[in-house]
Amino acid sequence: MFSETSYYFRRAAQVMGIGERIQRLLEKPQRLVKVEIVVELDSGELGTFTGFRVQHNRARGPCKGGLRYHPTVDEDHSSALAALMTWKTAVVELPFGGAKGGIDCDPTRLSPGEVERITRKFVSEIHETIGPYSDIPAPDVNTNAQTMAWIMTEYSRIHGFAPAVVTGKPVELHGSPGREEATGLGCTYIIAEVIKRTGGTIADKTFAIQGFGNVGSHLARHLALRGGKVVALSDVNSAIINRQGIDIPAVLQHVAEHRTLAGFPHAEPFDRDELIYLDVDVLVPAALGNVFTRENAHLVKAKTIIEAANAPTTPEADEIFDKRGVLVVPDILANAGGVIVSYFEWVQNIQQFRWELEEIQGKLHRYMERSFKTVWDLARSKNISMRTAAFIVAIGRVGKATVLSGV
Ligand code: GLU
């Protein structure tokens, strides 16, 4: 996976004509921490897991990025996702570098108590690597506000009260209003910006969303609030479709009760692998990476793809989309709403001053709108893809900070 994000980096670096010297400084992660986590499982047996924290680049500020709990977490994945965080924070102008990490566990097979013990043990292993002014984790796949609360309390036990060590905390425990829905809302703002330029309104478009976790569910809710017709949804083991538009408040209620989309009475079940081929206006991958490949990219019918997930498009698929004129808004721009409100949370923790939700959402909107415009205008003026344009903007900012700091 790292070689794929590097491919996008090098392609943009080439268009910019930046030298090999700077490329070498920016490409590889600066620090990689790998730890063994041994905990007692509920059965009384010992469970061993591997945890990672990769800091890709800190030229523009403390490292920032999520923690993922998933069997696919390894050095390569964490490095790729850490690099994406460097470019993401730069493209939306947050004063952070990029990091990512996680644990190679499967939380669906663990009790809440086991996840808590694994998390606390992980913090006891990496507490010298993270910190409010060095590296600030946040939620990602299969981690949430509760996980962040454990991290904050465990870190504070060792270092003293330090809410700014992690973002995405519960609002009741120094979290920020609006953080949980921020990625989904940010994607909605991006979709509105795209439609402003390509014609129509959200209310006359159809949407298919792959993934109904934190990002996909809030995105569906915000699209529906604006009259958008969400016709298909999928989660880890099911998918539902209704050409008239799925009743989103009802499906949210269903998922809150049953923890799955399966069995939702007002839509038809269908094969979840088919979702990406549906004939809709906007297709949103909002789950894991590597969704679009050389094999399937030419079968995608949607003309607009919004990358709510990180790294859903392989370089081969990206080239196919480019040739076919499919508009792809890249992950480092499309899903930046989460880290933007993480930044607001961090600032509030440092100020020890709570902002109002309206202020947070107003600022989120301005950050997304401004970043989108910069990337869109560059892509149009240079006749390049939005991904290459976003990387160019990001590499320019990180490169300048690096040169100004000195090697
Ligand atoms: N995990 C999210 C991302 O990939 C959020 C990171 C953060 O808030 O630091 O952007």
Atom of ligand 1 nearest to the CA of 167: 8
Q: How far apart are CA 175 and CA 87, in angstroms?
A: 25
CA of 377 to the centre of ligand 1 (A): 25
Please report, for residues 101, 133, 194, 239, 330, the alpha-carbon distance to residue 334 in angstroms, rounded to integers and kept in the order given. 21, 26, 11, 23, 6
Show the tokens assigned to 266: 């007002």
- 223 in the same domain as 329: yes
> Does residue 323 carry a catalytic annotation?
no
- 275 in the same domain as 212: yes
Band of residue 234 on the pLDDT scale cut at 50, 70, 90: very high
CATH number at residue 135: 3.40.50.10860
Beta-bridge partners for 255: none
What integer is the mean pLDDT of 97-107? 98
With respect to residue 388, please indicate whether it lies within any of the assigned structural domains.
no
Among 289, 309, 334, residue at a domain's last position:
334
Among 163, 191, 206, residue at a domain's last position:
163
Atom of ligand 1 nearest to the CA of 339: 8
- Name the residue of 339, 345, 348 to mutate for ligand 1: max ligand atoms within 8 A of Cβ: 339
- 157 in the same domain as 113: yes
- 151 in the same domain as 261: no
Which residues line the pocket of ligand 1, CB cutoff 6 A?
64-66, 88, 138, 140, 167-168, 310, 335, 338-339, 342
Q: Which residue owns the Cα nearest ligand 1 atom 8?
A: 339
Residues 6 or more apart from 2 whose CB is under 8 A from it? Answer: 76, 77, 79, 80, 83
Show the tokens assigned to 353: 């001053």
DSSP 110-134: S-HHHHHHHHHHHHHHHTTT-BTTT
Give the range of the structural domain holding residue 272, as residue numbers without chain letter: 182-334
Q: Residue 397: its pLDDT value, please? A: 98
CATH number at residue 255: 3.40.50.720
Atom of ligand 1 nearest to the CA of 65: 9
With respect to residue 134, please indicate whether it lies within any of the assigned structural domains.
yes
- 241 in the same domain as 191: yes
- Name the residue of 60, 64, 68, 85 to mutate for ligand 1: max ligand atoms within 8 A of Cβ: 85
Q: How far apart are CA 267 and CA 258, in angstroms?
A: 15
> Contact 271/249 with Cβ under 8 angstroms?
no
**Which candidate, 29, 32, 10, 30, places its Cα nearest to that of 20?**
10
- Name the residue of 342, 347, 364, 367 to mutate for ligand 1: max ligand atoms within 8 A of Cβ: 342
Q: How far apart are CA 360 and CA 340, in angstroms?
A: 10
Q: Determine what percent of the chain is predicted with pLDDT higher than 90.
A: 98
Beta-bridge partners for 64: 98, 136
Supply φ then ψ for residue 207, to 5 degrees.
-135, 145
Tell me which of 64, 88, 100, 205 is the catalytic residue.
Answer: 100
- Name the residue of 134, 140, 167, 335 to mutate for ligand 1: max ligand atoms within 8 A of Cβ: 140
Q: How far apart are CA 176 and CA 169, in angstroms?
A: 7
Band of residue 406 on the pLDDT scale cut at 50, 70, 90: confident
CA of 338 to the centre of ligand 1 (A): 6
CA of 323 to the centre of ligand 1 (A): 30
Atom of ligand 1 nearest to the CA of 96: 9
With respect to residue 107, please indicate whether it lies within any of the assigned structural domains.
yes
What confidence tens digit (pLDDT) does each residue in 150-197 have?
Answer: 999 999 999 999 999 999 999 999 999 999 999 999 999 999 999 999
Among 334, 361, 396, residue at a domain's last position:
334
- 233 in the same domain as 151: no
Strand ranges of the sheet holding 268-269, from the earlier edge strand across to the other edge: 268-269, 239-241, 229-234, 206-210, 282-285, 304-306, 327-329
> Contact 334/104 with Cβ under 8 angstroms?
no
CA of 204 to the centre of ligand 1 (A): 30
Q: How far apart are CA 141 and CA 71, in angstroms?
A: 11
Q: Residue 80: its pLDDT value, please? A: 98
With respect to residue 399, please indicate whether it lies within any of the assigned structural domains.
no
Please tell me whether the overall predicted TM-score, pTM, comes out greater than 0.95 for this model: yes
Q: How far apart are CA 57 and CA 382, in angstroms?
A: 27
Q: Determine what percent of the chain is predicted with pLDDT higher than 70.
A: 100
The pLDDT of residue 392 is above 80: yes
Residues 6 or more apart from 337 whose CB is under 8 A from it? Answer: 182, 183, 184, 185, 186, 187, 189, 364, 368
What integer is the mean pLDDT of 363-377? 98
CA of 66 to the centre of ligand 1 (A): 5
Show the tokens assigned to 371: 């970043």
Band of residue 25 on the pLDDT scale cut at 50, 70, 90: confident
Place of tokens 């910069």: 374
DSSP 224-266: HHTT-EEEEEE-SS-EEE-TT---HHHHHHHHHHHSSSTT-TT
CA of 92 to the centre of ligand 1 (A): 13
- Overall domain count for the chain: 2
- 198 in the same domain as 153: no
What confidence tens digit (pLDDT) does each residue in 329-345 have?
Answer: 999 999 999 999 999 99
What integer is the mean pLDDT of 64-72? 98
Show the tokens assigned to 50: 């591997």
**Which candidate, 284, 272, 208, places its Cα nearest to that of 235?**
272
What integer is the mean pLDDT of 365-393? 98
The pLDDT of residue 407 is above 80: no
With respect to residue 352, please indicate whether it lies within any of the assigned structural domains.
no
Q: Which residue owns the Cα nearest ligand 1 atom 9?
A: 65
- 216 in the same domain as 134: no
What integer is the mean pLDDT of 345-372? 98
